[in-house]
Amino acid sequence: QKEVEQNSGPLSVPEGAIASLNCTYSDRGSQSFFWYRQYSGKSPELIMFIYSNGDKEDGRFTAQLNKASQYVSLLIRDSQPSDSATYLCTLIGNTGNQFYFGTGTSLTVIP
Amino acid sequence: DVKVTQSSRYLVKRTGEKVFLECVQDMDHENMFWYRQDPGLGLRLIYFSYDVKMKEKGDIPEGYSVSREKKERFSLILESASTNQTSMYLCASRPSRGIWPGYEQYFGPGTRLTVT
């Protein structure tokens, strides 16, 4: 079983809609969770960080973490064509140093 | 801002050549990483380093070696390039062990290597 599982998509949403990206993980000791955005041909860039259960909001982005269910998600409100990218779910394992990346979900926002 | 730079954005090499990929970070980070990224496979860790002259194998170290003689520089070496090493190579750095904001990985722009 992979440490981090994501639906590879592609996920398509119309402009202005809410995009919901989901991720599950296997290690209950995982401590911190990140969402990176990666445009085609570019390197990943951090957009959200969460380590406590519940929701964390930053502009149009909301990260949600449920450690009991080992589930983390990213909601993008009022989706824009510029949000079209691959989103990588990432976590730090229980050692505090090892990073685990999901394979990414490809999102397309249709104008 | 943290800056991670890689020596080349695009590189074309022939099978059997020795290839050097250089990565430099300017934030005095202890940890540095080399990944390759292929469609459908995501990011795969090749090697990482916790400190100068220290290195640890990642998930796919075969065919690669690394060198870290200075804290800011981490080099990936393909001893004898093969076509299956055609990929996007990403370098990253981060401060030493920690889980809080600021301890995430910072990525360089990537090197797209083609081996013919």
| pLDDT profile of chain B (116 residues), mean per 10 | 89 97 94 93 91 91 96 97 97 80 85 97
Closest A-chain CA to B59: A100
Name residue A94's amino acid: N
Please check whether residue A8 touches B, CB under 8 A: yes
- Ranking A2-6, A53-57, A60-64, B24-28 by mean pLDDT, the lowest is A2-6
Q: ω into residue A111 within 30 of 0, thus cis?
A: no
> Which pLDDT score is estimated for A80?
97
Nearest to A97 among B43, B97, B110 (CB): B97
Q: Rounded mean pLDDT of A71-96?
A: 92
> Which pLDDT score is estimated for A27?
87
User: What span, in angstroms and rounded, lies between the C-alpha atoms of A98 and A90?
Assistant: 10
Please check whether residue B43 touches A, CB under 8 A: yes
Closest B-chain CA to A48: B101
Q: Rounded mean pLDDT of A74-89?
A: 97
> Which pLDDT score is estimated for A1?
60
> Which pLDDT score is estimated for A9?
81
**Per-residue b or e along A23-55, where b marks 16 or more CB atoms closer than 10 Å to that residue's CB:** bbbebeebbbbbbbbbeeeebbebbbbbbeeee
Please check whether residue A101 touches B, CB under 8 A: yes
Please check whether residue B42 touches A, CB under 8 A: yes
Q: What share of chain A in percent tops pLDDT 70? A: 95
